[in-house]
């Protein structure tokens, strides 16, 4: 089996993955604390919720992608087993 591919750790990906949800939550906190009306406070609470949902969506997407990688590795191991009669990485008895 081949090793897992190296993941891209570019600053743009990190900014979208972590910075965007954090910026939305911070904007919501500021609006809630600094806003002068109940409407501003309500909008701030909504922004906090939206920021948390954006972060959760990113986590769920990554879990789904990782699950697909696991399935691909399992399928590759099964093909190896079909060809060689043993599971990859184990010695024949």
* Domain assignment present for 57: yes
* C-alpha torsion 46→17→61→74, nearest 10: -160
DSSP letter at 89 equals T
Total domain count, the chain: 1
pLDDT attached to residue 10: 87
Write down the pTM of the prediction: 0.66
* Domain assignment present for 11: no
For residue range 39-74, what is the model confidence (pLDDT) as tens digits? Answer: 999 999 999 999 999 999 999 988 888 888 888 888
Structural domain boundaries enclosing 42: 19-84
């Amino acid at each position: 089996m081949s090793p897992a591919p190296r993941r891209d750790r570019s600053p743009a990906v990190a900014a979208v993955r972590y910075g965007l949800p954090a910026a939305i939550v911070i904007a919501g906190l500021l609006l809630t604390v600094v806003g002068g009306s109940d409407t501003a406070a309500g909008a701030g609470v909504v922004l906090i919720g939206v920021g948390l949902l954006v972060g959760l969506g990113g986590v769920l997407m990554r879990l789904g992608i990782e699950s697909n990688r696991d399935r691909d590795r399992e399928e590759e191991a099964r093909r190896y087993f079909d060809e060689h009669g043993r599971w990859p990485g184990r010695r024949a008895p």
